[in-house]
Amino acid sequence: MTPRHAYRRIFGRGALLALSVLLLAFASALWPGAAEAAPSAQSGGYFAPYPGGVTPLATSGVITAGSCKYQQATDNPHSPASDTSVHGWWIHYSGTCPAKATVTEYLQAYWCDIYGCRFITVASGKADVYAGGGSGKRATARKACASYRTVGWRGFVDVNLDNWSDPSGYTYSAIENLLCSPP
């Protein structure tokens, strides 16, 4: 093999790897959780505390879907015992809405590796519920603690009205640094 062909072979593999990393980053930015495999310490990364604070956003603005006006809501991640959890629900604001909506809640932990730090989805929960929140009217995402190290956590919720066209979008919780590191 000539040096010229060797260079092409090496450069071609490097370009393919760079393109793969770029596409993975782009997909992750557009669709939270889309390209996330369950990370582990063996993959060279670690869960970490979130270094900065954010303004809490627990309830969306009013969302209009036809004659239905509603809001998405999520509480902040909390770690009551040996796990971290977060809840999501929907609130009927006004108009005619379907009786139920499918609420999907996501729980994310702050992950760092050679590509940088970002939130990754570690658990999710889905429930078909009536409006209002509270027991039996919310979805829960929960992840067990593997150790009691400080890790940054956040949740986000997506509400889809049953048999009703509604706009897409997520509502994020505040970020909490909790003494719970996922496995």
Instruction: Give pLDDT tens digits for 136-156.
Output: 999 999 999 999 999 999 999
Question: According to the model, what pLDDT value does residue 80 have?
Answer: 81
**Do 81 and 127 fall into the same domain?**
yes
Domain that holds residue 9: 1-30
**Do 65 and 84 fall into the same domain?**
yes
Beta strands in the chain (DSSP E): 46-47, 63-65, 68-74, 83-95, 100-113, 116-130, 139-144, 147-161, 171-172, 176-181
The answer to whether residue 5 scores a pLDDT higher than 60 is no
Least confident of 11-15, 72-76, 90-94: 11-15
**Do 41 and 22 fall into the same domain?**
no
Q: Name the domain count of the chain.
A: 2
**Do 94 and 125 fall into the same domain?**
yes
Question: According to the model, what pLDDT value does residue 20 have?
Answer: 41
Look at the block and give the residue holding tokens 């450069």: 11
Which DSSP category does 43 fall into? G
The answer to whether residue 33 scores a pLDDT higher than 50 is no
Question: According to the model, what pLDDT value does residue 60 have?
Answer: 85
| CB contact at 8 A, 22 and 16 | no
Tell me whether strands 116-130 and 100-113 are parallel, antiparallel or unpaired: antiparallel
Is the four-CA dihedral 176, 58, 104, 79 of positive or negative sign? positive
| Mean pLDDT to the nearest integer, 16-26 | 39
Measured from the Cβ of residue 87, the count of other Cβ atoms closer than 10 Å reads 26
The per-residue pLDDT for range 75-125, each reduced to its tens digit, is 999 998 899 999 999 999 999 999 999 999 999 999 999 999 999 999 999
CA distance 58 to 84: 17
Question: According to the model, what pLDDT value does residue 129 have?
Answer: 98
| Mean pLDDT to the nearest integer, 8-37 | 41
**Do 94 and 6 fall into the same domain?**
no
**Do 17 and 89 fall into the same domain?**
no
Question: According to the model, what pLDDT value does residue 59 have?
Answer: 80
| Mean pLDDT to the nearest integer, 24-49 | 55
Minimal CA–CA distance to 105: which of 83, 90, 116?
A: 90
The per-residue pLDDT for range 56-69, each reduced to its tens digit, is 656 889 999 999 99
% of the chain residues with pLDDT over 70: 73
| CB contact at 8 A, 106 and 156 | yes
**Do 69 and 139 fall into the same domain?**
yes
* Secondary structure in 3-state letters for 2-27: CHHHHHHHHHHHHHHHHHHHHHHHHH
| CB contact at 8 A, 153 and 107 | yes
The answer to whether residue 34 scores a pLDDT higher than 70 is no
**Do 84 and 134 fall into the same domain?**
yes
| Residue of higher predicted confidence among 24 and 108 | 108
The answer to whether residue 170 scores a pLDDT higher than 60 is yes
CA distance 89 to 159: 8
| CB contact at 8 A, 175 and 152 | yes
